[in-house]
């Protein structure tokens, strides 16, 4: 593709990063199912290991199929570079790894995927890192939570499970003032609906397991770097600004400029943490991304129809979909996500916990699974599953209380989805 024309999203989701295979002419990106790559000679090998020449060494670090996906996602997000990894959770750790030292903390939203709350409240403690959780609707609280050891702010653009919207620009301004990066999990929005970098985010993380792949076939993750953060401005990010002892003293920011974070993530992060995406997974995700915009349009249209219907049902207490005028996030959704508020929301049933369990058990088209962002409509009772490790207070703050069911609307016929919900709600309230 020529560099002169600004291609549209639909074109880029099919072409960005890919070109016909130079060896065979294969039009689709081949699955390079190889562990290692033959060096031309010893000098070539040394240049690759010194990062003086870019190329392929070993598939824990880089792989040609994965590289196409990295370029595709970076392009769709408007970033300078990206690194793919084995899952969304891996991407979160990879996003923090170059920024953090023991004793450092992050400030994160209370409204996050339950697994992320556990990762940040428990698991990262073992690295000597910690997390302060704050309601991101309260911007003063976000500001107040930042201290000298804070190295990043973390939130979800459209938060799981409720589909609530984060004011990315407002939090980005706080991050800028504190000279720390804002990391946005853009899994539920996808770059088709929201491009967080345009709203001031430094890094964007994805669980590619969800909408980007789109049909529940593989797990994967990705970290996109905007390339705009000055890692050398404060001395807070020595892994990037100073001589990196883990890579024979290389200064990543000085050497790679706006690709410092991406190069560090590959050369040190993937090399030593090994959270690598495999080429088969990259292939499935590349296939999925080709139809991202078409699927997201249908997810949004179906979610608007189904959420609007559910809200009026007598068994329903409330629906959290930001695409509904009744949502307190509706105006923000229209501003930051004008193409729609995504396909994810929760429904609270008047019958409480017991009604939720009966409702989930009686659905027929909707699958009861711990996943979202599939072409199929999915449902889960978060409090007894994905948010089970959380305390009742954390569940309430995350919008995953016992009377709440999470719905991920698929791309089936909306009439069929409503008929299925209707029969299950009737049985749940019997």
Ligand X SMILES: Cc1ncc(COP(=O)(O)O)c(C=O)c1O
The residue written with tokens 């000597």 in the block is 128
Among 72, 89, 199, 406, binds ligand X (CB under 6 A): 89
Among 59, 188, 265, 285, binds ligand X (CB under 6 A): 188
Q: How far is the CB of 86 from ligand X (least distance, A)?
A: 8
Residue 313 φ/ψ, nearest 5 degrees: -75, 135
Residue 77 interacts with ligand X (CB under 6 A)? no
Q: Nearest Cα to 225, choosing from 77, 61, 82, 100?
A: 82
Residue 187 interacts with ligand X (CB under 6 A)? yes
Residue 160 interacts with ligand X (CB under 6 A)? yes
Q: How far is the CB of 171 from ligand X (least distance, A)?
A: 17
Stretch that binds ligand X, among 81-89, 164-172, 287-295, 334-342 (CB under 6 A): 81-89
Residue number with the smallest Cβ distance to ligand X: 88
Among 13, 150, 219, 241, binds ligand X (CB under 6 A): 219
Residues 13-72 close enough to bind ligand X by CB under 6 A: none
* E strand residue ranges, 266-421: 316-319, 344-349, 367-368, 378-380, 404-408
Residue 156 interacts with ligand X (CB under 6 A)? yes
Residue pair 342/192 in contact (Cβ under 8 Å)? The answer is no
Question: What Rg, from alpha-carbon coordinates, does the chain have?
Answer: 22
The residue written with tokens 């569940």 in the block is 395
Among 167, 185, 225, 311, binds ligand X (CB under 6 A): 185
Number of residues that bind ligand X (CB under 6 A): 16
Residue 320 interacts with ligand X (CB under 6 A)? no
Rounded to an integer, what distance in angstroms lies between the CA atom of residue 225 and that of residue 238? Answer: 17
Rounded to an integer, what distance in angstroms lies between the CA atom of residue 207 and that of residue 188? Answer: 9
The residue written with tokens 């539920």 in the block is 188
Residues 274-303 close enough to bind ligand X by CB under 6 A: none
Give counts: helices (H), strands (E), the chain: 18, 16
Residue 221 interacts with ligand X (CB under 6 A)? yes
Residues that bind ligand X (CB under 6 A): 87-89, 113, 115-116, 156, 160, 185, 187-188, 207, 209, 219, 221, 372
């Amino acid at each position: 593709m020529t560099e002169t024309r600004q291609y549209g999203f639909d074109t880029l989701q099919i072409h960005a990063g890919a070109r016909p295979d130079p060896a065979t002419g294969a039009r689709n990106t081949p699955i390079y199912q190889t562990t290692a790559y033959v060096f031309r000679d010893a000098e070539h090998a040394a240049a690759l290991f010194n990062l003086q020449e870019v190329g392929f060494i070993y598939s824990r670090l880089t792989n040609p199929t994965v590289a196409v996906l990295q370029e595709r996602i970076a392009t769709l997000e408007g970033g300078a570079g990206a690194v793919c990894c084995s899952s969304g959770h891996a991407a979160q750790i990879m996003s923090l790894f170059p920024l953090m030292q023991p004793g450092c903390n992050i400030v994160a939203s209370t409204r996050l995927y339950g697994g992320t709350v556990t990762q940040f409240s428990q698991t990262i403690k073992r690295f000597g890192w910690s997390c302060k959780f704050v309601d991101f609707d309260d911007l003063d609280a976000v500001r107040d939570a930042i201290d000298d050891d804070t190295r990043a702010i973390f939130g979800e653009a459209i938060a799981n499970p409720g589909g609530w919207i984060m004011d990315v620009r407002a939090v980005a301004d706080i991050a800028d003032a504190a000279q720390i990066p804002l990391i946005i999990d853009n899994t539920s929005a996808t770059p088709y609906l929201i491009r967080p970098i345009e709203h001031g985010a430094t890094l964007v993380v994805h669980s590619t397991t969800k909408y980007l792949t789109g049909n529940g076939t593989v797990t994967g993750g990705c970290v996109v770097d905007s390339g705009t953060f000055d890692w050398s401005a404060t001395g807070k990010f020595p892994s990037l600004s100073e001589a990196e002892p883990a890579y024979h003293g290389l200064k990543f920011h000085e050497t790679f400029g706006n690709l410092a974070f991406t190069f560090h993530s590959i050369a040190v992060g993937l090399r030593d943490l090994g959270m690598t995406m495999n080429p088969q997974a990259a292939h499935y995700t590349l296939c999925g991304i080709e139809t991202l915009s078409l699927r997201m349009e249908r997810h949004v249209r179906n979610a608007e129809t189904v959420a609007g219907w559910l809200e009026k049902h007598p068994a329903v207490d409330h629906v959290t979909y930001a695409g509904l005028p009744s949502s307190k996030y509706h105006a923000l959704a229209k501003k930051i996500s004008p193409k729609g508020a995504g396909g994810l929301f929760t429904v609270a049933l008047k019958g409480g916990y017991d009604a939720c369990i009966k409702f989930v058990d009686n659905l027929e088209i909707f699958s009861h699974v711990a996943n979202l962002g599939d072409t199929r409509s999915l449902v889960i009772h978060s409090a007894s599953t994905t948010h089970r490790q959380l305390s009742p207070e954390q569940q309430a703050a995350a919008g995953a209380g016992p009377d709440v069911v999470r719905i991920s609307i698929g791309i089936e016929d909306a009439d069929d989805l409503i008929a299925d919900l209707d029969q299950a709600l009737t049985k749940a309230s019997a």
